[in-house]
Amino acid sequence: MVSLSTGVIIGSAFNNIVTAFTKGVVEPILAIIGGSDLGTSHLKFRIWERMTTVTEKVNGVEVKTEKLMPVLLDVGSVMGAVVGFLITATIVFFIIVKPTNKLLDLMLKKEQPPAAMPPDVALLTEIRDMMQRQEERGLKGAV
- Write the CATH number for 8: 1.10.1200
Residue 118 within any structural domain of the chain: yes
Residue 92 within any structural domain of the chain: yes
- Confidence band for 127, pLDDT divided at 50, 70 and 90: very high
CA 55, 56, 57, 61 torsion-angle sign? negative
| Domain count within the chain | 1
What's the chain's length in residues?
A: 143
- Confidence band for 40, pLDDT divided at 50, 70 and 90: very low
pTM score = 0.45
Q: What is the pLDDT of residues 51-103, one digit of tens each?
A: 888 888 888 888 888 888 888 787 777 777 777 778 777 877 888 788 888 98
Residue 54 within any structural domain of the chain: no
In sequence order, which ranges of 1-143 are alpha helices (DSSP H)?
Answer: 2-21, 27-34, 75-92, 98-111, 119-137
- Contact yes or no for 75/43 (Cβ under 8 A): yes
The reported pLDDT for the residue numbered 34 is 61
Q: Provide the domain limits for residue 105.
A: 2-42+75-136
